[in-house]
A and B are shown apart, each in its own frame.
Chain A
Amino acid sequence: MTIKGKAYLAGVFEHPTRKADTQSLAQLHAESAKGALEDAGLNRADVDGYFCAGDAPGLGGLSMADYMGLKLRHIDTTETGGSSYVIHVAHAAEAIALGKCNVALITLAGRPRAEGMATGTAPRNYGSAAPDVAFEYPFGPTVVNQYAMAAMRHMHQYGTTSAQLAWIKVAASQHAQHNPHALLRDVVTVQEVLDSPIIADPLHRLDCCVITDGGGAIVVTKPEIARSLKRPRVPLLGAGEAVKHQLGGRIDLTYTGATWSGPAAFAEAGVKPADVKYVSIYDSFTITVLITLEDLGFAPKGQGGKLVADGNLISGVGKLPFNTDGGGLCNNHPANRGGLTKVVEAVRQLRGEAHPKVQVKNCDLALAHGTGGSLATRHGSATLIMGRE
């Protein structure tokens, strides 16, 4: 059994705010949901499946169903950090294919800026019952220094350079200049990335994503309903999900779960990396993009540096246009969870609704990938391949 062609991404919405001083968390979820339903041409009463993750307030899906007044016959609160929403799209398609729901709503929202959260630089502690916490928290693991260790190892093992990583930020900034909602719209150069302060060796400030408030939502529905709507149709063609962890202490920081989720998605869709016209790649840090592109098969392992350099990720310039909204590096990283907005920009590209300056010509096959958690040691990986009808 496959989900290929069994479900469509009918509505997407990216909340325009980047600092939500006047909205509550539940409100941001609901405003995002409203936006995606309006985009699809559906309404709240059509929703019978709901998906959310750890960013949802209170009792999560229960609290948000209560707030929004949803009548549900299917709920899924799979939590894999920033990749959750990419997995939710696949799980929604599975539920739709099995007849468990007809219209699935996925929401994300957060207020890390308004709440003054020390997002990337405070040591992570998931509570004393987390089995790993005693063996890690004393050593000060933060988001940034953990991803930095993956970058350091990749550089050591494969000769990847800071300049190559900087090209990823440069490409994102080239795209973000055209996005009026992007938090950072200034175009930057490789040298400016290299001249920005080191946060954790070898990652510079401009190797790191933005911190933003906001949210987003996705509506997934069955073919019969998708055909009745007035929007361009975006079928889900393939999906893969995986969890990569510490392997009992056989830690390898040079690859991610995309090594498994990517081939699963390509196999289900019946396509290969060379067929893909546009990619949305989770970009918490520049190194996340580089390793993920290797793992998905866009470059041999260790040669991602050559793939991303020299503007190759810039739409209209390079061979592999990526994150044409400016991505997490420049545009938006709502709730410190970037998976959902990756799907949103891929759908815009497939509909031909990206900004004209970054729209990929004849974009009929796109990939969106999410990474959530600690890179290479405890993360969820999720890959979606979508088409156009």
Chain B
Amino acid sequence: MAVTKARAIPSPPTNPETQACWDAASQGKLLIKRCAACGESHWYPRALCPFCGSDRTEWQEASGRGTVYSYSVFRRAPVPYAIAYVTLAEGPTMMTNIVDCDLDAIRIGQAVRVNFKATEDGGPPVPMFSPA
């Protein structure tokens, strides 16, 4: 069993457009964007909807539940880690890591839940996922 080990996580560069997302992350909440004009949720969050172009996008708290769409364990890295795309219950698919689990037991379709992890240099935590 190859359990995930701690990896130094670079802090995400923030900007005014996405600051609310990182403020929420610090409180353990996963915010995504939903468009009030077309009703679609999207990721990564944008001020302008990538589906219809409207600027009426709003923050939406996601459930933090999802399933693994794809993944890859980066064996050659100094500290092997699992990169993944997780499809949220709300629809959008996001890049993430699968952590606090057996790297060899990760499977496509597996149910996962959000698990925020601290980043370097005092940056905001980032949304990773672990088996549900």
Give the shortest distance, in Å, between A125 (CB) and chain B (any CB). Answer: 8
Interface: B63 (CB within 8 A) = no
Give the secondary structure class of B's interface. loop
Interface of chain A residues 236 through 263 with chain B (CB within 8 A): 247-251, 253
Total residue contacts A-B, CB cutoff 8 A: 119
Q: Is the CB of B93 within 8 A of A149?
A: no
Nearest-CB distance from A121 to chain B (Å)? 6
Size bracket of the B interface: 35 or more
Q: Which residues of B are found within 8 Å of A230, using beta-carbon distances? A: none
Output the least CB separation between B77 and chain A (Å). 7
In the complex, which residues 144-161 of chain A have their Cβ closer than 8 Å to any Cβ of chain B?
144-146, 148-153, 156
Q: Which residues of A contact B11 (CB under 8 A)?
A: 138
- What is the interface size of chain A, counting residues whose CB is below 8 A from a CB of the partner? 39
- Whether A58 is near chain B, meaning CB under 8 Å from some CB there, is no
CB-CB < 8 A to A139: which residues of B?
A: 83, 95-97, 126, 128
Q: Which chain A residues border B49 with CB–CB below 8 Å?
A: 248
Q: Map CB proximity to A onto B47-85 as digits: 1 under 8 Å, 0 otherwise.
A: 001110000000000000000011111111100010111
Q: Which of A106-162 contact B (CB under 8 A)?
A: 121, 123, 128-129, 131-142, 144-146, 148-153, 156
Residue from B13, B70, B91 in contact with A253 in the complex, judged by beta carbons closer than 8 Å:
B70
Docked-complex contact B12 and A149, CB < 8 angstroms: no
Residue of A nearest to B128 (CB): A139
Listed stretches A20-28, A63-71, A192-200, A209-217; interface member: A192-200
With A134-B14, A150-B70, A152-B108 already in contact, the answer to whether A249 and B76 are too (CB < 8 A) is no
Residues of B bordering A, CB below 8 Å: 7, 9-15, 18, 22, 40-46, 49-51, 69-77, 81, 83-85, 91-97, 108-109, 119, 126, 128
| Besides A138-B126, A153-B70, A248-B42, 16 other A-B contacts (C-beta < 8 A) | A121-B76, A121-B77, A131-B46, A134-B15, A134-B44, A135-B43, A136-B44, A139-B128, A152-B71, A156-B109, A200-B76, A201-B75, A248-B40, A248-B43, A248-B51, A249-B93
**Contact sample, A vs B, 30 pairs, CB 8 Å cutoff:** A123-B10, A128-B13, A131-B44, A134-B15, A134-B22, A136-B95, A137-B10, A138-B11, A139-B96, A139-B97, A141-B83, A144-B74, A145-B74, A145-B83, A148-B72, A149-B70, A152-B70, A156-B108, A156-B109, A198-B75, A198-B76, A199-B74, A200-B72, A201-B73, A248-B43, A248-B50, A249-B41, A249-B94, A251-B85, A253-B70
